[in-house]
A and B are shown apart, each in its own frame.
Chain A
């Protein structure tokens, strides 16, 4: 009989054997591929998964290395509070194109980090900087706090900007900006 993980996490009891079992489970690395996993669209905007006898009505697709290896090592997890790992997808090639497309849809639903392609203007006033930029998702204005950790340097040339609402924006290569745009960003580089 297939095991349904819909109600996972409810009515848990802590016993040593169960804890040991869970620890073992946690330590295990289970790779998912077209041979052992079957993803399906739920028809309501999400993705379901069948791994062997286990059925998951909804799963979450998580990038394990979102900055250094965006397209490799995806962790497939339950969407509940415990966010238990069901398995790992090492590379896209382990699945057919249709499944890859489904996974990409879920990733684009989960991650939203517009890439800044043009810096139109930056105005700083009373401890805040107001950005007027063009991103790969369209024109956008946002505000960051001048102090604090609003600008994170992922590498020497790649930065991540957090605005006051916790939106994230990325500049993948500062060198690709025009000298004028870099001058505007001077304060944050």
Chain B
């Protein structure tokens, strides 16, 4: 991300840099205080001063040494930057949301400069749009367009076909065969009429032979078409399957933030419907596309050779059709896009209601939700109806207009035959070719619809496939067997980098140590866990695992060594056995039983009618919360992780379940580096050390006793919880 914009000579002159003074950061203040857009205003930070340039005037000049810090504060749709120090805050300027992230780097930049260091803060974040062409960057560092990478629809489509070259070659051969047979049939008909039926001598043998050839041709073309359609449908299925797989793999690879920004319905539509459209295109359109194009060219050429004047009459209506198709192309594309969007909305709305059905029922809002869904469904249906009506009218009218050409050809050709300028066979052949040509033009006029349908789906698929995962294996990343030492070094992170959740975290955890993370809601405990699990990457500083930078460890290998037990654990629809085995598919039955026993799950499993084969239902809803929890622990035990994460693992459970789970967790955590979050502090008293997070930073570290003796935040929290318990007991 750019942190030093280029200044014009005029602006540099205004800065009046002293000898040796260097500009370190230069960011646009693209809004004035009233909100008007402006282009020539900047905040400049040199190694000794901060300057404000507004529309060609130097309006502020401040010495870095005179101020404590520079701060950027996100507002609603914009941000402000101000200096802090001398007991006050001094507003320097305002910028649009486009520069929110950029300005957040200034604070650290100034800190470094104030320390007398001369290193520059470098942002690893990507620009959201290309500084050269202004196009949005699909989560990539460089603009595919400006970097000259092919990203058009045709290269994408050809790329999809590439792995299926052999199948494609057979289909192309069949297409050529279909072309030949279709062209040859009218020629035989002409021969039959001119040389056999109207010949002075009746030659039945020749007539039978012609009819036999025509029959063979008809059977042949049927066989070729069946084979062609079958192979095209299969090719479509393969390509569709490839794309589904690629989409699924990519969605799994992409960061959680990408998934969270999109609704599940929309992502499902792309995996299911858009890939299905590719299959339909291959089966319905691609299958005939080349045959039709080749035949159209051949038939037209042949007609011109036979009788160029009659051919031109026949062709007179073709440009009209082409014109109509081009003129309506944009409209048709828009119709498909709109239909896609409405379908996404309907699916998301449905998914939303089904997922939250319990809440809907609890508040008796079934009627309102049904009305809401009816609205979105009606919206989709209205657009779909409109589109179907449009296509039902557009194409028949187009075909009818084209069909009128056949009458013209018959009229003029018939006149010429009567005058003796043409034989009846030639007329028959010509009319047959003209009919063929019109049917091809009609078919081709459908092409924009089919192509735009395909293009829309390819674009929607491409939107996901071109996203680069934020977290990926660096070149040279290696597998690393974790011993268990985790070290945070000046680690800072925010889901939006201009809103830090954790700042300057420094902590070293020894192998096998159990760390309890304590703090109020929203202080960043779960975020710290997310960073340890490498679901996100730190914006600043580093995390070392056994002294190795976490980014240098292969992601898949790293995740395989982590076990997680959350407050609400996800169980897959399937049996208890499959859910436990999910962690290690090759685990033996005995290992699974042992894991279940250690998790205090074995007994309740045996009490169920189907034992380990009990079907847990979607999300495991056939089981109680405590049972689901114990299965999750069994899964984690079987996984035998080197790093263990417990995020509120015993919250919201009854006393007996909690006791059983605490026991199970005790077995699970033994000898493993463990990070545990719990709001109920009593559950963390056995932790080797407690880390209290407050105000985005680590506020206290120590054992339960040490922190109590310190009488700080932890002491306060424990006291508050004890007093609350006391109050409850009194009541």
Binding site for B on A (CB under 8 A): 6, 9, 12-16, 19, 42, 44-46, 57-58, 66, 79, 81, 105, 108-114, 124-128, 130, 137-141, 143, 145-149, 163-168, 186-187
B73: chain A residues at CB < 8 Å are 79
**B6 contacts partner chain A, Cβ-Cβ < 8 Å:** no
Contacts of B75 in A (CB 8 A): 109-112
Find chain A residues with CB under 8 A from B666 CB.
none
Residues of A within 8 A of B694 (CB): 12
Q: How large is the interface on B (under 10, 10 to 19, 20 to 34, 35 or more residues)?
A: 35 or more
User: Of residues 60 to 81 in B, which have CB atoms within 8 Å of A's CB atoms?
Assistant: 73, 75-78, 80
The yes or no answer to B165 lying at the interface (CB within 8 A) is no
Q: Are B720 and A14 in touch, CB under 8 angstroms?
A: yes
Q: Mark B20-37, 1 if CB is under 8 A from A, else 0.
A: 000000000001011111
What 1/0 flags go to B294-337 for Cβ under 8 Å of A?
A: 00000000000000000000000000000000000000001001
Query: What are the residues of chain A within 8 A of B341 when measuring CB–CB?
Result: 146, 187
CB neighbours (8 Å) of B87 from chain A are 6
Contacts of A137 in B (CB 8 A): 35-37
B266 to A148, Cβ gap below 8 A?
yes
Q: Name B80's closest neighbour in chain A (CB-CB).
A: A109
Q: Mark B322-356, 1 if CB is under 8 A from A, else 0.
A: 00000000000010011001001000000000000
Closest to B83 in A: A44
Contact yes or no, B78 A112, CB < 8 A:
yes
Inter-chain contact A126/B462, CB cutoff 8 Å: yes
A58 with B716, Cβ < 8 A, contacts A126-B462, A148-B261, A148-B262 known: no
Q: Which residues of B contact A168 (CB under 8 A)?
A: 76-77, 97
Contact of A165 among B36, B96, B716 (CB under 8 A): B96
- Cα distance, A182 to B148, chains bound together (Å): 35
Structural contact, A45 and B98, CB atoms closer than 8 A = no
Contact A44–B716 (Cβ < 8 Å): no
CA distance in complex: A166, B499 (Å): 13
A143–B91 touching, CB < 8 Å:
no
Cross-chain contact A166 with B129 (CB below 8 angstroms): no
Question: Within the assembled complex, what's the spacing in Å between the Cα atoms of A8 and B354?
Answer: 45
Residue of A45, A105, A138, A187 most packed against chain B (CB within 10 A): A45
**Chain A interface, DSSP helix/strand/loop, else mixed:** loop
Q: In the bound complex, do residue A16 and residue B720 qualify as a contact, i.e. CB atoms below 8 Å apart?
A: yes
Q: Which of B643-696 contact A (CB under 8 A)?
A: 694-696
Q: Is the CB of B463 within 8 A of A126?
A: yes
Known contacts A112-B78, A143-B136; A167/B720 CB under 8 A: no
Check B460–A127 contact: CB distance below 8 A.
yes
Whether the Cβ atoms of A114 and B151 lie closer than 8 Å is no
Q: How far is the CA of A139 from the CA of B151 in the complex (A)?
A: 30
B76 touches A113 (CB 8 A): yes
Do B713 and A141 touch across chains, with their CB atoms under 8 A apart?
no
Binding site for A on B (CB under 8 A): 31, 33-37, 73, 75-78, 80, 82, 87-91, 94, 96-98, 100, 128-129, 134-136, 138, 151, 261-263, 266, 334, 337-338, 341, 344, 459-460, 462-463, 466, 694-696, 712-713, 715-717, 719-720, 723-724
- Bound CA span A111–B33, Å: 11
Partner of B91, one of A46, A125, A148, A166: A46
Chain A residues within 8 Å of B724, by CB: 16
* Chain B residues whose CB sits within 8 angstroms of the CB of A9 once the complex forms: 695
Q: How far is the CB of B246 from chain A (nearest CB, A)?
A: 16
CB proximity of B144 to chain A, nearest CB, Å? 9
User: Can you list 22 A-B contacts (CB < 8 A)?
Assistant: A6-B87, A9-B695, A15-B720, A16-B719, A44-B89, A45-B82, A46-B91, A58-B89, A105-B33, A108-B33, A109-B75, A109-B91, A111-B75, A112-B97, A145-B261, A147-B463, A148-B261, A164-B129, A165-B100, A167-B97, A186-B338, A187-B337
Known: A42-B88, A164-B136. A140 touches B128 (CB 8 A): no
B717 touches A14 (CB 8 A): yes
Collect the chain A residues with CB atoms within 8 Å of residue B37's CB. Answer: 137-140
Chain A residues with Cβ below 8 Å from B466 are 126
Known: A127-B460, A137-B36. A167 touches B88 (CB 8 A): no
Q: Are B712 and A13 in contact (CB under 8 A)?
A: yes
Across the interface, name the chain A residue whose C-beta is closest to B694.
A12
User: How many Å from the CB of B445 to the closest CB on chain A?
Assistant: 24
Contact check: which of A44, A46, A108, A166 meets B100 at CB < 8 Å? A166
Would you call A108 and B35 a contact (CB within 8 A)? yes
Q: A149-B263, A167-B98 are in contact. Are A186 and B136 (CB under 8 A)?
A: no
Please name all residues of chain B whose beta carbon is closer than 8 Å to the beta carbon of A110 when the two chains form the complex.
Answer: 75-76
List B contacts of A19 (CB < 8 A). Answer: 720
With A58-B89, A110-B75, A112-B78 known to touch, is A124 a contact of B337 (CB < 8 Å)?
A: yes
CB distance from B288 to the nearest CB of A (A): 28
Q: How far is the CA of A110 from the CA of B75 in the complex (A)?
A: 5
CA distance A168 to B74 in the complex (A): 13
Residues on A with beta carbons closer than 8 Å to the beta carbon of B334 = 186-187
A147 and B460 contacting across the interface, CB-CB below 8 Å: yes
Q: Is the CB of A126 within 8 A of B88?
A: no
Q: Tell me which residues across on chain B come within 8 A of A42, comparing CB atoms.
A: 88-89
Question: Contact: A187 with B89, CB < 8 Å?
Answer: no
Contact A127 B262 (CB under 8 A): no
Set of chain B residues within 8 Å of A45, measured between Cβ atoms: 33, 82, 89-91
CB pair B88 A125 closer than 8 Å: no
Chain A residues contacting B36 (CB-CB under 8 Å) are: 137-138
Shortest Cβ gap from A51 to chain B (Å): 20
Nearest-neighbour CB distance to chain A for B503, whole angstroms, equals 11
A12 to B713, CA, bound (A): 7
The complex places the Cα of A42 from the Cα of B37 at a distance, in Å, of: 25
Which chain B residues border A114 with CB–CB below 8 Å?
A: 35
Give complex CA distance A154, B430 in Å. Answer: 63
